[in-house]
Amino acid sequence: QVQLQESGPGLVQSSQTLSLTCTVSGGSISSSDHYWSWIRQHPVKGLEWIGYIYNSGNTFYNPSLLSRVTISVDTSKSQFSLKLSSVTAADTAVYYCARGRGYGYGIDYWGQGTLVTVSS
């Protein structure tokens, strides 16, 4: 059973960089079939895709966040990471890491989510 677990600070200062890590267990992060993703959910709002990394290094980002986002992978640790720079209160959200099973198959595994609050 694949499991994903987010980790990182729950509080980030405004204008700083948000950094989160997702640890994957029960499956290989090196598989070329999977899209390792970050998705966030603002309080009482819907879901917003941030970006994904696949095939051990190719990345796609939400155009609205492109200038501030970096997703990277460390296959030796079975982890992938998110960095979001210049955060504001609008970046306060629950952040999920998740796995896209393959092109056309949807997002089949999710982490439990971690709340990140941006404070001024």
Yes or no: say if 36 and 59 are a contact pair by the CB < 8 Å rule: no
Yes or no: say if 29 and 80 are a contact pair by the CB < 8 Å rule: yes
List the x/- string, 54-83, binding to another protein by CB under 8 A. Answer: ------x-xxx-------------------
Closer residue to another protein in complex, CB, 57/103: 103
List the x/- string, 79-118, binding to another protein by CB under 8 A. Answer: -----------------x-x-x--xxxxxx-xxxx-----
Q: Closest separation between CB of residue 11 and another protein, Å?
A: 20
Paired tokens of 104:
């056309």
Q: Closest separation between CB of residue 6 and another protein, Å?
A: 10
